[in-house]
Amino acid sequence: MASDKRVDEIIDRYKGEEGFLIQLLLDIQNEFNWIPKEAILRISTRLQIPLSHIYRVVSFYKVLNLKPIGRHVIQVCLGTACHVRGGPRILDAVENTLGIKAGMTTGDMKFTVKRVNCIGCCALGPVMVIDNDYHCKLTPAGIKDILARYD
């Protein structure tokens, strides 16, 4: 999993700084594609931050992951505007195409599917974001073609 050496290198970037925990956790996640328990233990030990505090931060911020995620993260908006424009049908199409449910990752670690409450593109709904690519005014029929664009 997480190598202590690599985690230590990331921690060392923040020596002497204050208020860096969230950015440190993001850097750990960028390195390993999630935040392994071993990394949290190492952060706690090296920086003398209580485990409970680190877990509180990780569980508060939805962008932080305590389990491995896919190379591509799919967020399907189910906010009110997207919902009434077919967001649930888009989520169904994504789940059926990938063979997983929201909150899961494909066995090949290619995709993780998340349902979100609002992406902020209400006039363009239904909306799905893959990594940083916004796909708007979607129909279930177009989902397979969109997913095929991601290696």
* Interval 77-112: pLDDT, tens: 999 999 999 999 999 999 999 999 999 999 999 999
CA dist., res. 114 & res. 129, Å (int): 10
Looking at every residue in the chain, the average pLDDT score rounds to 94
Q: What is the pLDDT of residues 16-33, one digit of tens each?
A: 777 899 999 999 998 998
First to last CA, the chain: 24
3-state helix, strand, coil in the chain (%, to 5): 45, 15, 40
Domain 72-148 falls under CATH 3.20.10.10: no
Integer CA distances (angstroms), 25 to 109, 117, 128, 151, in order: 21, 24, 26, 26
Instruction: Give 39-85 pLDDT, tens digit per residue.
Output: 999 999 999 999 999 999 999 987 899 999 999 999 999 999 999 99
Q: What is the pLDDT of residue 63?
A: 83
- Residue ranges of the chain that CATH labels 3.40.30.10: 72-148
